Homo-oligomer: A and B are copies of this chain.
Amino acid sequence: MPLILTEEQTMLKEAADGFLNEHAPIAHLRKLRDSKDADGVSRDLWRAFGEMGFAGVIIPEEHGGSGLGAVEAGVMAEALGRTLTPSPFLGSGVLSATVLKGGSAEQQAAWLPRIAAGEAIVSLAVDEGPKHAPSRIATVAERSGNGFKLNGAKGFVLDGHVADAVIVAALTENGLSLFLVDPKTAGVAIERTVMVDAHNAARVTLTDVEVDADAVIGSVDGGEALLEGALNLGRACAAASLNGAGDQAFQTTMAYLRTRKQFGKLIGEFQALQHRSAHLFSEIEIARAAVMGALTALDSDRPDAALRVSVAKAKAGRVAELAVQEAVQMHGGVGMTDEYDVGLFMKRVRVLNELLGDAGFHQERMARAQGF
C-alpha cells in the first residue's frame, strides 16, 4: 500500500479540513473553554459529524457508517489536530467503535448506528494510574449472580462525563474482559477533569457496580486482543492528530517568520532560525511518513503493524513537541499570550503525547520487539 493518500482519501481530507475550518475552527474551542461549557464539547457538532459521515468513518455501512479504514480515520484525526476541535471522534468514533465492532450483534446494532449518527458518545476506560499502562489494570470484575460486580477507578477517560455508555476494561478470573456499563448504574461515579488543552476527560470510579452477563463485549477473559486492536488504531490516530497540530503550529510559525520584522529584518532572514525551521520541516516529513506507515499497516494487517504504530506515536509525539516549542519560542513574547493560538497547540500536543502511551512507552515496545 503506497504511503500517500489516494484520490478518495484526499477528497475526504479536503472535506474534513473544509468542514472544520468553517464550523469548528480554533474559535470554537475558545468559546467552549471561555464560556466554561459544562460538557466541554458540542453535541450539535458531533451530530453534524454524523451527518457528514465523519463520525462513523470506520463503522461498517450496515450499521450506518462509511465502512472505511485506518487511513481515513487518520485523515479525520489529523484534521481535528489542525483545528484543535474538541470532539468525541477519537474516544467514540475510533476507540469505542473498534471495541464494539468485536461485540455481539445486539451490541453492535444498539450502539454503532448511534455513534455513526453522532448521537451517542461511548467512552473507553482503560488507564488507572497517571501513565498509560494497559498491562497493569487493577479494576476487578467478580462473578455475581448471573452477571458481574465491578470495582476500581479509571482516569483520563475521554468524554467520560458526557458518555452514554462506558466500556470498562477489568480483570476477570483468567484474563481481561471488557464491560459495557451504563453510567447511570448505581455505584458509578464520574467526575469531569478539566484539562490543560480544554479537551474532555473524566475520572470514573466503580464501587460494587452490578452488570449483567451480556454487558461483556467479546468473550469473558478474552478482552485483551480486542482492546489492543482498538488501542493501536487509537494510537495511530492520536499520532495523526499530533502531526496535524504540530504541522499547523509550524505553518503558523513559518507565516510569522515571513512577515514579522525585528532588528530591521524579517526574522525569517536569520539563518539560525532558517536552519532550525528546515530541521523541523524534515522532522515533520519523517513523522508524516511514520504515521502513514502505521495506518496503512493496520489497514493491510501487516504483522509489524503494532510496531509501526509505536514508531508513529513515538515519532509524531516528539516531533510535535519540538514543533510547538519552536512555535512559542520563535513567536517570542506574543507566543506566550493566551490571545495567540500557538500556546493552544502546545497544550493540545502535551495531552495527545500522554494519551495512549507517550514516546517512552512506545520506545519501550520498540526495544522489546527488537529483543534488547
Contact = CB atoms under 8 A, between A and B. Distances in A.
Nearest to A278: B272
Interface string A32-75: 00000000000000000000000000000000000000000000
A282 interface: no
Q: How many of these chains are in the complex?
A: 2
A270 B275 CA distance: 11
A355 B275 CA distance: 35
Contacts of A275: 272
Classify chain A: how many residues form its interface, as a range. Answer: under 10
Contacts of A274: 272
Contacts of A272: 271-272, 274-275
Interface in A241-296: 270-272, 274-275
A235 B270 CA distance: 41
* Most B C-beta atoms less than 10 A away, residue of A270, A271, A274: A271
Contacts of A271: 270-272
A275 B329 CA distance: 15
Nearest to A269: B271
A322 to B, nearest CB: 16
A271 B272 CA distance: 5
A281 to B, nearest CB: 15
A171 B90 CA distance: 59
Interface string A190-231: 000000000000000000000000000000000000000000
A23 to B, nearest CB: 42
* Most B C-beta atoms less than 10 A away, residue of A270, A274, A275: A275
A270 B271 CA distance: 7
A99 to B, nearest CB: 36
A274 to B, nearest CB: 7
A-B pairs with lowest CB-CB distance, top 3: A271-B271, A272-B275, A271-B272
6 contacts: A270-B271, A271-B271, A271-B272, A272-B272, A272-B274, A272-B275
